[in-house]
Amino acid sequence: MSEQVIPVPALTRKDFVSDQEVRWCPGCGDYAILAQMQRIAPELGLPREKIVFISGIGCSSRFPYYMNTYGIHSIHGRAPTLATGLNIVDPELQIWVVTGDGDGLSIGGNHLVHCVRRNVNLNILLFNNRIYGLTKGQYSPTSLPGHRTKSSPMGSIEQSFNPISVALGAEGTFIARTVDVYAKHMGEILRQSAKHQGTSFVEIYQNCIIFNQHAWEHVTDAQVRDDNVLYLEHGKPMVFGKNRDKGIRLVGLTPEVVALGDGITEDDLLVHDAHAEDPTLAWMLSRMEPPHFPVPIGIFRSIQKPTYADMLLKQGEAARAKRGAGDLRKLFRDADTWEITELAEVGAAGSNGGGNGR
């Protein structure tokens, strides 16, 4: 008798839309990110039940409620910790950590950095809007110095974090940046992030329409964006500009922007190498921003290193190969033992050569 094959219907975008009404402010950049995620989720090659979204606290962190997958809305800054425990217990799940500049780089900075360092196989999406949105407008660790907010009425006196630099400092194996309104680009970055084995860290420039409206205008305003954005492509020279007439060149250790033509060709330009073991190039790129440089977007770094769960489970296998599978009876007796079979006969009769016990 032949087996009846029931065709499994392919997943569609709709399968990933939950029954919850989305409550972000109209015009919030999070809608675009959600839309992209729902669009590419069917293409991730996994059954829906294998996908998990874990968030902390913040506008970003409402994300799991709107994805029809397994999800946890946890506590401020701690999503990477729950995700790590879940990954250790079931490495087959595809885990997405959704966080923001406050949740991920302020209270959660410690956990984010260690998760990246451990190369836990999961994807961190950091929605960077350079402000605290949910709590209504305080400055964040990525707010620019001088930014006036409710808690910094005379301007922020703090240097800001650069999330890409932080991820590099944390030994990140996959580090990328995209922009909420770059739909196609983001879709591709999400796909690549999911494919990567190890921690994928993605910074998403996200617009908070209510509390920090103009934060990313330089990369979203059609008039200026082409001159302010450098699309990183592995193996290709670094060219940018509306007319693709500008490039990045290295002079000694210092990058500089040059105009093509007048004897300068693409051959003189820095070629992107996303797979370099050495993080120096990626670091250099992470420091680039207006006014002197375009903002690099795309994949800064993508290298292969063993993942945390891989190594842990390999140790489990090695332990079983060496000592055999766990045996409770043996375990209980793994100590000096003695047996009582009958009533007492006192002492050791003064000899030190007699047996133990009786």
Partner 1 sequence: MSETSIGPAAETSQGFLEELESVAIRFAGDSGDGIQSVGTQFTNTSAVLGNDISTFPDFPAEIRAPAGTLAGVSGFQVNISSSDIHTPGDAPQVLVAFNPAALKANLPDLEKGGTIIINRDEFTPGNLKKANYATNPIEDDSLARYRVLQVPLTTLNRHALAEMEGLGAKDKDRCRNFFALGLIFWMYDRSLDTTLQWIEDKFGKKPEVAKANTTSLKAGYFYGETTETFRTRYRVGKFDVPPGVYRKITGNEAAVLGWVTAAHKAEKTLFYGSYPITPASDILHELAALKNFDVRTFQAEDEIAAIGATIGAAFGGALALTGTSGPGICLKSEAMNLAIVLELPLVVADVQRGGPSTGLPTKTEQSDLLQVMFGRNGESPIVVIAPCSPADCFTMAIESMRLAVRAMTPVVYLSDGYLANSSEPWRIPDPDDIPAIEVEHRTDPEHFAPYLRDEVTLGRPWVVPGTPKMEHRIGGLEKQDGTGNVSYSAHDHDHMVKLRAEKVQRLQNTIPEQTVFGPEQGDLLVIGWGGTYGSLRSAVAAAQAKGHSVAHAHIRYLNPFPRNLGSLMSRYKQVLVAELNLGQLALLINGKFGMKVQQLNKVEGRPFKISEVLRKIEELV
Q: Where in 114-133 is the site for partner 1 (CB under 8 A)?
A: 114
Choose which of 31, 70, 231, 283 interacts with partner 1 (CB under 8 A).
70
Interface with partner 1, residue 105, by CB under 8 A? no
Q: Cβ 98 to partner 1, closest distance in Å?
A: 12
Tokens of 162: 């650069």
Choose which of 12, 27, 45, 88 interacts with partner 1 (CB under 8 A).
88
Question: Locate tokens 């407008």: which residue?
Answer: 137
Q: Cβ 284 to partner 1, closest distance in Å?
A: 28
Q: Measuring CA to CA, which residue among 207, 239, 228 is closest to residue 290?
A: 228
Stretch that binds partner 1, among 127-135, 171-179, 236-244, 311-319 (CB under 8 A): 311-319
Contacts (CB under 8 A) with partner 1, residues 21-50: 47-50
Stretch that binds partner 1, among 74-82, 190-198, 203-211, 293-301 (CB under 8 A): 74-82
Q: How many CB atoms lie within 10 A of CB 144?
A: 13
Q: Measuring CA to CA, which residue among 183, 174, 145, 177 is closest to residue 163?
A: 177
In the three-class reduction of DSSP (H, G, I as helix; E, B as strand; rest coil), residue 40 is classed as helix
Characterize 201-222 residue by residue with b for buried, 16 or more Cβ atoms within 10 angstroms of its Cβ, and e for exposed.
bbbbbbbbebbbeebbebbbee
Interface with partner 1, residue 93, by CB under 8 A? yes
Interface with partner 1, residue 10, by CB under 8 A? no
Q: Cβ 347 to partner 1, closest distance in Å?
A: 4
Q: Cβ 319 to partner 1, closest distance in Å?
A: 4
Phi, psi of 229 (to 5 degrees): -125, 130
CB-neighbour burial class of residue 174 (10 A; exposed 0-12, middle 13-18, buried 19+): buried
Q: Cβ 55 to partner 1, closest distance in Å?
A: 8
Taking the C-alpha atoms of residue 292 and residue 249, their distance in angstroms, rounded to an integer, is 13
The residues pairing with 96 across neighbouring beta strands, listed in sequence order, are: 53, 123
Name 146's Cβ contacts closer than 8 Å, sequence gap at least 6. 155, 156
Q: Which is nearer to partner 1, 198 or 255 (CB)?
A: 198
Interface with partner 1, residue 3, by CB under 8 A? no
Q: Which is nearer to partner 1, 199 or 212 (CB)?
A: 199
Region class of 324: left (phi > 0), else alpha (psi between -120 and 50), else beta: left
Residue pair 102/5 in contact (Cβ under 8 Å)? The answer is: no
342 DSSP 8-state letter: S
Q: Which is nearer to partner 1, 35 or 72 (CB)?
A: 72
Residue pair 131/211 in contact (Cβ under 8 Å)? The answer is: yes
Q: Which is nearer to partner 1, 88 or 144 (CB)?
A: 88
Query: What is the β-pairing status of strands 174-179 and 200-205?
Result: parallel
For residue 117, which amino acid is it? R
Q: Which is nearer to partner 1, 184 or 329 (CB)?
A: 329
Residue pair 257/247 in contact (Cβ under 8 Å)? The answer is: yes
Contacts (CB under 8 A) with partner 1, residues 335-354: 335-348, 350-354
Q: Which is nearer to partner 1, 300 or 308 (CB)?
A: 308
Stretch that binds partner 1, among 130-138, 159-167, 226-234, 333-341 (CB under 8 A): 333-341
Contacts (CB under 8 A) with partner 1, residues 46-65: 47-50, 52-54, 64-65
Interface with partner 1, residue 311, by CB under 8 A? no
Contacts (CB under 8 A) with partner 1, residues 290-309: none
Tokens of 17: 């839309």
Choose which of 68, 106, 138, 160 interacts with partner 1 (CB under 8 A).
68
Q: Cβ 218 to partner 1, closest distance in Å?
A: 35
Q: Cβ 63 to partner 1, closest distance in Å?
A: 10
Interface with partner 1, residue 323, by CB under 8 A? yes
